[in-house]
Amino acid sequence: MDFDTIIIGAGAAGMMCAAHSGGRTLVIDHAKAPGEKIRISGGGRCNFTNLGTTSANFISENPHFCKSALKRYTQWDFLDLIGAHAIAWHEKTLGQLFCDESAKQIIAMLLKEMERAGAELWLKTSARKISHDGARFHLSVERDGTQVALSARNLVLASGGKSIPKMGASGFAYDIAQQFGLGLVETRPALVPLTFADQRYAPISGVAVPAVACANGVAFEEAVLFTHRGLSGPAVLQVSSYWSEGEEVVLDLDPKGTLFTHLRSARTEQGKRDVTTVLTQVFPARLVQHLSEEMGITGRIGDQSDAALEALCARVQGWVQRPTGSEGYRTAEVTLGGVDTNGLSSKTMEAKTLNGLYVIGEAVDVTGWLGGYNFQWAWSSGWAAGTAIAASTV
Ligand SMILES: Cc1cc2nc3c(=O)[nH]c(=O)nc-3n(C[C@H](O)[C@H](O)[C@H](O)COP(=O)(O)OP(=O)(O)OC[C@H]3O[C@@H](n4cnc5c(N)ncnc54)[C@H](O)[C@@H]3O)c2cc1C
């Protein structure tokens, strides 16, 4: 069976691409349903974009690569699409936009857009072998247990990264990209909780505090959550993308810098109280108990010198953590690294050395922060490839 374009992966990027690629387009996916990650994202409400999206919110060996696509298909363009489908949304925090009702509305919207564009969708279909004869791609796919031979002028790799293998994530795009001569930037789990082999935070699991988390000089101020196995919460997920095994993460539990003033006034007004009691006026009691054991915090607040209070604040503001690992691809929201952008056009996502081969979405070495940026990259890169394909097939 011959197509103009075959897209591998009916996720956010693949469906967006299919809605714009024109001609005879087929999307294949080995899953039973399209857009499974969209469905589970944002607690079932999909944080589909971020109002403040710029290239600064992405990590890549080439930080300039994502600029063109993000500028040509912006968060406002996606909001127009959402508006045209009458999907109600709200801003939760920090520019993060969520559906009022359900992430399933985004999937339904993309399916409608694909249908409008005349694209076909084959689910439960896996690509086995892919080759190129100099003009067209030839695919051997398995559909419902039957081998089917397909060919297309354009092949779009939209099969995502390695995160959440239980949901069908695979390194497929990387293998095929390499088969056709594209490079790979080393991959690792990102937006992922960090772990400690000794499970030191098990006694305070469930405690959450506002904090600044910093790894490799990059800092995020949001909540930090202590868990059975280690550290999580948005601030930690964000810095996990900048952290490598063996490195430290520094937590500042006094992000507003008000602790010293509080302790000094407590010294005057509540001098007989223990320092730990005063600290429970600022932090959850279970956290204070942990800090007092780890930092040896003892004595009455009235007996502390300015220097002692300053030293205590400095420790709370620069609490050094050495995670021993991360939860890995099992729970990582995204995969850092991927297909090397050096081999791709930033305007069209097409391979520079093989006409008709495109790579989009998470498979590319472009990884967004937490907060809707990863979906925006999927929309922007999918749109860039789709419109380029449509223009080339006219
Ligand atoms: C739990 C969770 C929550 C998230 N929440 C958000 C959020 O709220 N906001 C945000 O911006 N980002 C979020 N993300 C990240 C976001 O889901 C991804 O960045 C985005 O889905 C990437 O889109 P994609 O189309 O490139 O890949 P995917 O959405 O992963 O789609 C890839 C598709 O390819 C298919 N596939 C894989 N291998 C093959 C193969 N060999 N053959 C055929 N098909 C194949 C898969 O079944 C899948 O349907 C979240 C991720 C997770 C895991």
Query: Which strands make up the sheet holding 319-321, listed edge to edge?
Result: 319-321, 249-252, 208-215, 218-226, 230-232, 194-195, 325-326
What pLDDT is recorded for position 362? 98
What pLDDT is recorded for position 145? 87
Q: How far is the CA of 293 from the centre of ligand 1 (A)?
A: 42
Q: Where are the alpha helices (DSSP H) in 95-233?
A: 104-117, 172-179
Q: Which residues of the chain have pLDDT under 70?
A: 394
Could you give the CA distance from residue 87 to residue 113 in angstroms, rounded to a whole number? 14
Q: Is 70 helix (H, G, I), strand (E, B) or coil?
A: helix
- The atom number, within ligand 1, closest to the CA of 98 reads 8
**Tokens at 291, concatenated:** 């800090």
Q: Which of 51, 96, 54, 95 is nearest to 71 (CA)?
A: 54
Could you give the CA distance from residue 18 to residue 120 in angstroms, rounded to a whole number? 9
What pLDDT is recorded for position 247? 97
Q: Which of 134, 176, 128 is nearest to 153 (CA)?
A: 134
Candidate of 28, 36, 41 to mutate for ligand 1, largest count of ligand atoms within 8 Å of Cβ: 41
Could you give the CA distance from residue 339 to residue 241 in angstroms, rounded to a whole number? 17
* Amino acid symbol at 36: E
Q: Residue length, the chain?
A: 394
> Do 124 and 13 touch, CB atoms closer than 8 A?
no
Q: Where are the alpha helices (DSSP H) in the chain?
A: 12-18, 36-40, 67-72, 75-84, 104-117, 172-179, 234-240, 259-269, 275-279, 285-295, 306-317, 373-393
Q: Which of 47, 83, 102 is nearest to 377 (CA)?
A: 47
- The atom number, within ligand 1, closest to the CA of 372 reads 11
Could you give the CA distance from residue 233 to residue 188 in angstroms, rounded to a whole number? 19
pTM, whole model, 2 decimals? 0.97
- Residues within a 6 A CB radius of ligand 1: 8-14, 28-31, 36-37, 40-42, 46-47, 126-127, 158-160, 163-164, 168, 170, 172, 333-334, 361-363, 372-375, 378
> Do 9 and 359 touch, CB atoms closer than 8 A?
no
Dihedral sign (CA 80, 66, 47, 220)? negative
What pLDDT is recorded for position 394? 66
Q: Which of 60, 34, 57, 66 is nearest to 335 (CA)?
A: 60
* Amino acid symbol at 56: A
Residue 281 vs residues 5, 10, 64, 196, 274: alpha-carbon distances, Å:
62, 50, 46, 28, 12
